[in-house]
Amino acid sequence: MDVLCDETFRQITGLMYATVGLSFPDSKKPLVTSRLAARIQRIGLDGFDQYFELISSHDDGGEFQMAVDLLTTNETYFFREPAHFDLLERELGRTKPKHVAVWSAASSFGDEAYSTAMLLADMQLHGRIGTEWSVLGTDISDRVLRSASEAIFPAERLSRVSPERLKRYCLRGEAESEGLVQIQDKLRDRVRFGQLNLCQEIDGIGPFDVIFLRNVLIYFDPPTKQAVVDRVLTRLRPGGLFFIGTAEGRVPSSHSLQPLGPGAFRKVAR
């Protein structure tokens, strides 16, 4: 196969930037080359030029989506960055809301959404929040969303889930013998998933009381980061809680945010 020439690199990364906001500086050329080369060979194309033609055509058979999956990571696990869940529990325990609507934006396989659902179900059980709560998970990748809806997970991704919660919210059965864990319907019924591109207008969802936008901003350049954060925050109620990954640095936003801890903020009413 040919090497990835500068022009095709710019075409492929330009398409990624314009469509889903992913930003790949020149230093990422080796990464783009290695992630796409194996795929190009597997589907029997001659090289990167042909691959660019395919993913930029209307009739790509889902290949653009595959390229996005290959160039990003879907890494996630239950109760990742546990301080955020502790803070959420403290804040909700203080205000005891009747309704809680949560959005896990960039949910990947759904671990964050189901972790939140476990926490909210426990709080409801102990009368610390009302009965009307729900979680929406969205992502650009329909592959991860299909898996999220099935709610079957490798057991090691639930290593931070307490034994009590595993018993209360997970099913034992055939899946278990294969090292898999299935989430029970009583929790699945509270969690919905849908496809959403954070780089396009967001209509028809929210407002939310809590938004997780964690470990996705790393893919965006500063102007895209600010546009995404601003767009997402229009869906958060004043006083609502906003979480980003603790390693994602400063949040660029024209909304007023009160810092509550690393990667945790409250939206201030304007």
Q: Is residue 35 annotated as a catalytic residue, yes or no?
A: yes
Q: Closest CB to ligand SAM among 100 and 105?
A: 105
Q: Which of 66, 106, 113, 83 is nearest to 216 (CA)?
A: 106
Q: Closest CB to ligand SAM among 184 and 200?
A: 200
Minimum distance, C-beta of residue 136 to ligand SAM, in the bound complex (Å)? 13
Is 13 a binding residue for ligand SAM by CB under 6 A? The answer is no
Contact with ligand SAM (CB under 6 A): which of 74, 147, 226, 246?
74
Q: Closest CB to ligand SAM among 74 and 253?
A: 74
Minimum distance, C-beta of residue 22 to ligand SAM, in the bound complex (Å)? 6
- Contact criterion met (CB below 8 Å) for 108 and 139: yes
Q: Closest CB to ligand SAM among 100 and 140?
A: 140
102 bridge partner residues: 135, 210
Minimum distance, C-beta of residue 255 to ligand SAM, in the bound complex (Å)? 19
Minimum distance, C-beta of residue 96 to ligand SAM, in the bound complex (Å)? 27
Q: 75-94: which residues touch ligand SAM (CB under 6 A)?
A: 75-76, 80
Catalytic residue among 69, 80, 111, 139: 139
Minimum distance, C-beta of residue 87 to ligand SAM, in the bound complex (Å)? 15
Among 56-64, 145-153, 215-223, 232-240, the segment contacting ligand SAM (CB under 6 A): 215-223
Residue nearest to ligand SAM as judged by C-beta position: 76
Q: 113-132: which residues touch ligand SAM (CB under 6 A)?
A: none
DSSP notation for the chain: -----HHHHHHHHHHHHHHH-----GGGHHHHHHHHHHHHHHTT-SSHHHHHHHHTSS--TTHHHHHHHHHS-----TTSSHHHHHHHHHHHHHH--SEEEEEEET-TTTHHHHHHHHHHHHHHHTTSS-SEEEEEEEES-HHHHHHHHHTEEEGGGGTTS-HHHHHHHEE-SHHHHTTEEEE-HHHHTTEEEEE--TTS---S---EEEEEE-S-GGGS-HHHHHHHHHHHHTTEEEEEEEEE-TTS-PPP-SS-EEEEETTEEEEPP-
CA 153 to CA 25: how far, in whole Å?
Answer: 34
- Contact criterion met (CB below 8 Å) for 32 and 13: yes
Q: Is residue 139 annotated as a catalytic residue, yes or no?
A: yes
Q: Using CB under 6 A as the criterion, what x/- string covers residues 137-156 for binding ligand SAM? A: --xxx--x------------
CA 137 to CA 85: how far, in whole Å?
Answer: 16
Q: Closest CB to ligand SAM among 91 and 139?
A: 139
Q: Using CB under 6 A as the criterion, what x/- string covers residues 180-209 for binding ligand SAM? A: -----------------xxx----------
> Could you list the residues that contact ligand SAM (CB under 6 A)?
20-21, 72-76, 80, 106, 108, 112, 139-141, 144, 197-199, 214-216, 219, 245
What residues are labeled active site?
Answer: 35, 139
